[in-house]
Amino acid sequence: MTRGAESPTQLWVARRCVGCGGQSILESTLVIVLISLVAFGVIQMAQLYVARSVLTYTAAAGARARSVGFNSFMVYKVVRVAAIPTAGALEYPIVPRDAAGAAFWGTRSVGTTWNTALRSGSAVSPQTAVEQALIPHYLEAEQTGQLNAILRYERWPDLKFHESLPSGRMVGVRVEQEIPLVFPFHRAFTIDDSVQIQSGDAKRSHFIRRGDHASLYLE
């Protein structure tokens, strides 16, 4: 066989290898998509689990507020404040921004923002500092019309709570909220863009005995 000539077997192997490249790319793409689907699904489920934990705490805070004698308006404010972790973006007041118009905390590296916070004497973000200053004023507000002028969050309107008084000695609060599905590929699991999450136990309510807390505050 002359130099450069190829046998039929070599030609068959060469033609087959030409098609192997495209097949490998296709298989790798499918595997990456499936792994991404599972990973994002797990992260989204973890987010919903955290949201349920927050709403369970929120229901407990509302029930405790009612058990110590606060009225419905105060319970309403306590529930909203306790649910800040699931309330979305802070709409009012506006968090301080830099000269470029971008939010300070999200435009710099972790190390830079941490050093800046330490130099300012407070290792918190500007938004956290605003919240810590205004939450007491929010809880002290005497009229509903004052609330949005103190604090306002994107998803507070989606937050609902219900009180139930099964007996004179028990206080129950149930909290629910629409939680948006924000991770990619969530349409692979549901046709909706949000999930209704309710506070935590089997009865979807948090019950507290009046006597457990009222004696600490009421004569």
Residue 143 has which token pair? 């009229």
Residue 101 has a pLDDT of 44
Asked whether the predicted pLDDT for residue 83 surpasses 90, the reply is: yes
Asked whether the predicted pLDDT for residue 102 surpasses 60, the reply is: no
Task: Kindly report the backbone phi and psi dihedral angles of residue 121, in degrees, each rounded to the nearest multiple of 5, phi listed first.
Answer: 90, 5
CA 187 to chain centre: 18
Residue 113 has a pLDDT of 62
Distance, CA of 55 to CA of 213 (rounded, Å): 21
pTM above 0.85, yes or no: no
Strands (E), the chain: 90-92, 152-153, 159-167, 170-180, 194-198, 206-209
Residue 18 has a pLDDT of 55
Residue 138 has a pLDDT of 95
**How large is the average pLDDT for residues 60-72?**
86
Distance, CA of 39 to CA of 188 (rounded, Å): 13
Q: Residue 163: which of 149, 150, 178, 175 has the closest Cα? A: 175
Q: Residue 147: which of 71, 73, 86 has the closest Cα? A: 73
Per-residue pLDDT tens for 123-138? 566 778 788 889 999 9
Residue 140 has a pLDDT of 93
Yes or no: say if 86 and 103 are a contact pair by the CB < 8 Å rule. no
Quick one: pLDDT band at residue 142, thresholds 50, 70, 90?
very high
Distance, CA of 46 to CA of 104 (rounded, Å): 28
Per-residue pLDDT tens for 33-50? 888 888 888 888 898 999
Distance, CA of 189 to CA of 183 (rounded, Å): 11
**From the CA atom positions of the chain, what is the Rg in Å?**
28
Q: Residue 62: which of 139, 130, 150 has the closest Cα? A: 139
Q: Which of 71-75, 142-146, 165-169, 198-202 has the lowest mean pLDDT?
A: 165-169
Q: Which of 18-22, 46-50, 90-94 has the lowest mean pLDDT?
A: 18-22
Q: Is 208 left (phi over 0), alpha (psi -120 to 50) or beta?
A: beta
Per-residue pLDDT tens for 189-200? 777 888 888 887
Distance, CA of 127 to CA of 94 (rounded, Å): 9
Q: How high does pLDDT run on average in the chain?
A: 77
Distance, CA of 59 to CA of 65 (rounded, Å): 10
Residue 139 CB: number of other CB atoms within 10 A?
15
Residue 122 has a pLDDT of 55
Task: Kindly report the backbone phi and psi dihedral angles of residue 70, in degrees, each rounded to the nearest multiple of 5, phi listed first.
Answer: -70, 150
Asked whether the predicted pLDDT for residue 99 surpasses 50, the reply is: no
Yes or no: say if 58 and 81 are a contact pair by the CB < 8 Å rule. no
